[in-house]
């Protein structure tokens, strides 16, 4: 192997610039770790005239993908352009040309990861995508390598910084969802069209990738049930707080007896849960392993240099494999068959807030309806609204099946004494009271 490895980039935006900076600034360390130097040779961009915030004097900028994908000197292609179809075609072409690929593209990996991995395996190439989940946190390596000896039972993640920022601001500043979103947009934490973040799709993509690797099963994006935080009301965060919980958008995945449950939903999390302390734009993934017990991986989920660290670590892994002559040998084929867990097997505690008539016997009618479905209450709050002659009732159930809860909720809406079911959320953990 030569004393220099050449890397080609597809994209030179926020992440691509970070990759160039990191490779440039860490030359000595890279040479020491790898026994060779690493050089970014050429970069695909859309606009050659654009001002770049990195020095590109020694790099060929091009608008022709073949200048990267067909250059025999380039061993490793880093895809940081985003999007799905074009990026996918480029990556497949890179594998055909026997180049190893590192990608940060969660949208693409969530949708087409298995197909791309297949193409990599057929061509004896490496395909790494650490940066696609939780930016700078080495969570995929943590799962695939660090916990490879364990049996992972459950994953819970705060894997979207935008929604965590919005919920943290609502919680700490007492502002509405709309105001918190506006602030996040002004600070650059949320896009002008925030749908993919606030509707939970971005987190769902990351949970699909995490679930595949943690449980060695073929988790598809459609397997992930998604509810976002759009329009969430401050009152629910405030009642949650009173009861010992904090609201987070939680990606949850669990796999037992070949039965899979993966979802993303706003969740009232006990303040004593390790994830409850993850604030603002930070990310964290909580992993529960049969042998290791509780672990948590915490850090920045995005940003130029944090994300670049994950990418350059992948580049280093690919170069190490090249030097050892073991590329294209990742054992990450799904091992287990998958079936989705039916609602009768999905267990959880639930928070409900409703308006009811302010008269005697109302609460007993509601609790009878739940008891008939074997659901009991753990915490109850009731605040009469004398002016409107109604009562606001909040309760948290003990653990029950999703099927029983859904059934009780449907019947609850039909009760004469219930004027409106305002909201309901999953609850995780026991509140410290
Ligand atoms: N930003 C983060 O913190 C972060 C974190 C984790 C993962 N990611 C993922 O990393 C990827 C890149 O994100 P980013 O924030 O760096 O995006 P970005 O700032 O928008 O940069 C995209 C780059 O790709 C180039 N590009 C896009 N489409 C192209 C095309 N069709 N042909 C040629 N060049 C094209 C653009 O060229 P021009 O510069 O000429 O326009 C630009 O340099 C995405 O998949 C994203 O999901 C980002």
The CATH code of the domain that includes 251 is 3.30.360.10
Domain boundary among 324, 357, 372: 324
Mean pLDDT, residues 82-99 taken together: 98
Instruction: Examine the domain organization and report whether 89 and 192 are in the same domain.
Output: no
* Structure tokens, 188: 């650059």
Domain boundary among 256, 290, 324: 324
| pLDDT, the chain, mean | 94
**Is the model's pLDDT at 28 over the cut of 60?**
yes
Asked which of 20-29, 336-345, 382-391 is least confident by mean pLDDT, the reply is 382-391
β-sheet bridge partners, residue 103: 79
Cα separation of 128 and 313, whole Å?
10
Instruction: Examine the domain organization and report whether 44 and 131 are in the same domain.
Output: yes
Asked which of 15-19, 208-212, 379-383 is least confident by mean pLDDT, the reply is 379-383
Q: Give the pLDDT band (50/70/90) at residue 334.
A: confident
Q: Give the pLDDT band (50/70/90) at residue 321.
A: very high
Q: How many CB atoms lie within 10 A of CB 365?
A: 15
**Domain membership flag for residue 335:** no
* Amino acid 431: pLDDT: 80
- Greater confidence (297 vs 360) lies with 297
- Residues with Cβ within 6 A of ligand 1? 11-16, 44-47, 50, 80-83, 86, 104-106, 131, 135, 302-303, 307
Asked which of 46-50, 163-167, 321-325, 420-424 is least confident by mean pLDDT, the reply is 321-325
Instruction: Examine the domain organization and report whether 168 and 255 are in the same domain.
Output: yes
352 CA from centroid of ligand 1 (Å): 41
Instruction: Examine the domain organization and report whether 192 and 252 are in the same domain.
Output: yes
**Is the model's pLDDT at 297 over the cut of 60?**
yes
Q: Give the pLDDT band (50/70/90) at residue 383.
A: confident
Catalytic residue chosen out of the listed positions 88, 206, 338, 426: 206
Residue 108 Cα: closest atom of ligand 1: 45
Domain at 420, CATH number: 3.30.70.260
**Domain membership flag for residue 390:** yes
**Is the model's pLDDT at 344 over the cut of 80?**
yes
Mean pLDDT, residues 327-344 taken together: 82
**Is the model's pLDDT at 248 over the cut of 90?**
yes
* Amino acid 331: pLDDT: 58
* Amino acid 2: pLDDT: 63
**Domain membership flag for residue 332:** no
Residue 45 Cα: closest atom of ligand 1: 34
Cα separation of 48 and 50, whole Å?
6
Instruction: Examine the domain organization and report whether 149 and 123 are in the same domain.
Output: no
Domain with 219, as residue range(s), is 139-299
Instruction: Examine the domain organization and report whether 132 and 163 are in the same domain.
Output: no
Q: What is the dihedral of CA 25, 31, 33, 34, to 10 degrees?
A: 130
**Domain membership flag for residue 116:** yes
* Amino acid 145: pLDDT: 92
**Which residue shows structure tokens 């105001």?**
179
389 CA from centroid of ligand 1 (Å): 55
Closest residue to atom 18 of ligand 1, CA basis: 13
**Is the model's pLDDT at 333 over the cut of 80?**
no
Instruction: Examine the domain organization and report whether 127 and 205 are in the same domain.
Output: no
Could you tell me which of 169, 164, 173 has the C-alpha nearest to residue 200? 164
Contact between 391 and 385 (Cβ < 8 Å): yes
Q: Which of 8, 10, 11, 192 to mutate to test the pocket of ligand 1 (most atoms within 8 A of CB)?
A: 11
Q: Which of 48, 81, 312 to mutate to test the pocket of ligand 1 (most atoms within 8 A of CB)?
A: 81
Instruction: Examine the domain organization and report whether 252 and 319 are in the same domain.
Output: no
**Is the model's pLDDT at 332 over the cut of 70?**
no
Cα separation of 167 and 408, whole Å?
28
48 CA from centroid of ligand 1 (Å): 15
**Domain membership flag for residue 334:** no
Domain boundary among 289, 324, 359: 324
Distances (CA, A) of 198 to 14, 265, 288, 400: 21, 11, 26, 28
Mean pLDDT, residues 114-120 taken together: 95
- Contact partners, residue 221, CB within 8 Å, separation at least 6: 110, 111, 204, 205, 208
Closest residue to atom 8 of ligand 1, CA basis: 104
Cα separation of 96 and 119, whole Å?
8
Domain at 35, CATH number: 3.40.50.720
Total domain count, the chain:
3
**Domain membership flag for residue 227:** yes
Contact between 190 and 128 (Cβ < 8 Å): no
Q: Give the pLDDT band (50/70/90) at residue 433.
A: low
Instruction: Examine the domain organization and report whether 146 and 292 are in the same domain.
Output: yes
Question: Tens digits of per-residue pLDDT, 385-432?
Answer: 766 789 999 999 999 999 999 999 999 999 999 999 999 999 999 887
Instruction: Examine the domain organization and report whether 244 and 190 are in the same domain.
Output: yes
83 CA from centroid of ligand 1 (Å): 8
Sign (positive or negative) of CA dihedral 268, 421, 239, 366: negative
**Domain membership flag for residue 15:** yes
* Amino acid 430: pLDDT: 87
Contact between 278 and 156 (Cβ < 8 Å): no
* Amino acid 338: pLDDT: 86
Mean pLDDT, residues 243-272 taken together: 96
* Amino acid 115: pLDDT: 95
81 CA from centroid of ligand 1 (Å): 4
Instruction: Examine the domain organization and report whether 129 and 201 are in the same domain.
Output: no
Instruction: Examine the domain organization and report whether 192 and 233 are in the same domain.
Output: yes
**Is the model's pLDDT at 79 over the cut of 80?**
yes
* Structure tokens, 327: 């590329």
**Is the model's pLDDT at 4 over the cut of 80?**
yes
Known catalytic residue at 21: no
**Domain membership flag for residue 329:** no
């Amino acid at each position: 192997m030569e004393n220099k490895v050449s890397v080609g980039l597809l994209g030179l935006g926020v992440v691509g610039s970070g990759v160039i900076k990191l490779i440039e600034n860490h030359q000595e360390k890279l040479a020491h770790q790898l026994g060779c130097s690493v050089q970014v040779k050429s970069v695909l961009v859309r606009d050659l005239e654009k001002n770049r915030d990195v020095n590109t004097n020694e790099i060929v900028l091009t608008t022709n993908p073949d200048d990267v994908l067909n250059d025999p000197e380039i061993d490793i292609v880093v895809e940081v352009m985003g999007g799905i179809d074009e990026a996918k075609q480029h990556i497949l072409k890179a594998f055909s040309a026997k180049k190893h690929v590192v990608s940060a593209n969660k949208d693409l990996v969530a949708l087409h990861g298995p197909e791309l991995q297949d193409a990599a395996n057929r061509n004896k190439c490496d395909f790494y995508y650490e940066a696609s989940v939780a930016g700078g946190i080495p969570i995929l390596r943590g799962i695939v390598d660090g916990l490879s000896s364990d049996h992972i039972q459950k994953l819970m993640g705060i894997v979207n910084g935008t929604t965590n920022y919005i919920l943290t601001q609502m919680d700490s500043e007492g502002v509405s969802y709309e105001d918190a979103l506006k602030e996040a947009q002004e600070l650059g934490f949320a896009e002008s069209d925030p749908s993919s973040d606030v509707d939970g799709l971005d987190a769902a993509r990351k949970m699909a990738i995490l679930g595949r690797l943690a449980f060695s099963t073929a988790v598809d994006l459609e397997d992930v049930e998604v509810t976002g935080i759009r329009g969430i009301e401050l009152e629910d965060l405030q009642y949650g707080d009173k009861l010992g919980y904090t609201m987070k958008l939680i990606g949850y995945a669990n796999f037992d007896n070949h039965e899979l449950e993966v979802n993303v939903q706003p969740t009232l999390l006990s303040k004593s849960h390790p994830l409850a302390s993850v604030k603002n734009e930070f990310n964290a993934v909580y992993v529960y392993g049969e042998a290791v017990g509780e672990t948590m991986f915490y850090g920045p989920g995005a940003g130029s240099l944090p994300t670049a660290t994950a990418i350059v670590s992948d580049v280093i892994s690919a170069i190490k494999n090249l030097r050892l002559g073991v590329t294209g040998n990742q054992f990450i084929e799904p091992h287990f068959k998958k079936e989705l867990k039916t609602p009768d097997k999905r267990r959880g505690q639930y928070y409900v807030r409703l308006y009811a008539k302010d008269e005697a016997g109302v609460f007993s009618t509601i609790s009878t309806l739940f008891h008939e479905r074997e659901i009991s209450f753990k915490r109850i709050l009731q605040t009469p609204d004398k002016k409107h002659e109604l009562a606001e009732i909040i309760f948290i159930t003990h653990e029950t099946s999703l099927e029983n809860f859904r059934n009780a909720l449907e019947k609850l809406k039909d009760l004469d004494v219930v004027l409106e079911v305002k909201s309901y959320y999953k609850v995780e953990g026991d509140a410290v009271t």
